[in-house]
Amino acid sequence: MAPARPDFLILGLAAAGFAIAAYLTGLKWMGGNAAFCLSGSGCDVVQASRYGNLLGVPTALWGVLLYAAIGALAALGLTAPRWTWALYLAAAGVGFSIYLTAVSVLVIKATALVPGALAAAVLVPLGAAFIYAVPAGGGSGFEGALARHLREKGAVMYGAHWCPHCTEQKALFGAAAKDVPYVECAADAVNGRPDLCQQAGVKSFPTWVMGTERREGTQSLRALADFSKFEAPK
């Protein structure tokens, strides 16, 4: 299976959020004020209030765990399921941040603009990065669902750019062709990985490999569905 590549943009933004949350957590435990949180500015009031803790630990610690989880998913590579989980985590973080901001302004009567700006500086680019990192999903219907299923099952199509049968195989997927888990075997191609093809023991193109099973030659979509035990969505 072609390994998913780490998403360094989201990983970097998550690392920035992790650093800020860890800094605030440490200050909460040590009883200090942040460098950007001057006495009487509002954020010192928020830090000292009962909202500075959640379930017995500093509220910022939950941010540390949140950003760590998002960063771990990004480091592993944002496949469709991981992207979905990371998006849910980010959405939960944004929602909770909005809640805390509303509490600080409406309940505590403290306006902490600087920490809010710091949170926005991480969360806004992070949201944009998630949109940018949406897994390819242009194919709809049976073809798109099958292509994504093959990727999730660890199936890989090995081929070469000069192979007419490989072009024919991709064409069967239509708009979902870019979702097909594909490894280029030609050494002269831009993304050529002949080493992976050699490791997989590929002798002809295209070759489909999933675990210990393989299929050689152009396969019909129905044959690939049977090969990967795919059930079409109702």
Q: Where in the chain is the domain with CATH 3.40.30.10?
A: 141-227
Strand partners, 160: none
Rounded CA-CA distance 206/79 in Å is 24
Please report, as a single letter, which amino acid is at residue 127. Answer: G
Q: Where in the chain is the domain with CATH 1.20.1440.130?
A: 8-132
141-227 under CATH 3.40.30.10, yes or no: yes
SS3 89: helix
Residue 139, pLDDT > 60, answer no
Topology of the domain covering 8-132: de novo design (two linked rop proteins) (1.20.1440)
What confidence tens digit (pLDDT) does each residue in 175-233 have? 888 889 999 999 998 889 999 999 999 999 999 999 999 999 999 999 999 999 998 76
Instruction: State the DSSP H helix or E strand holding residue 26, giving kind and residue range, or none if neither.
Output: helix 8-30
| Sheet bearing 213-216, strands edge to edge | 182-184, 156-159, 207-210, 213-216
**Which class for 153: exposed (0-12), middle (13-18), buried (19 or more C-beta within 10 A)?**
middle
Is-cis flag, bond preceding 206, omega within 30? yes
DSSP class of residue 173? T
What confidence tens digit (pLDDT) does each residue in 77-102 have? 776 677 778 878 887 877 777 776 67
- In this structure, are residues 44 and 78 in contact, taking their beta carbons and an 8 Å threshold? no
pTM of the model: 0.50
Rounded CA-CA distance 126/78 in Å is 14
Closest CA to 41 of 128, 92, 123, 113: 113
Rounded CA-CA distance 231/225 in Å is 7
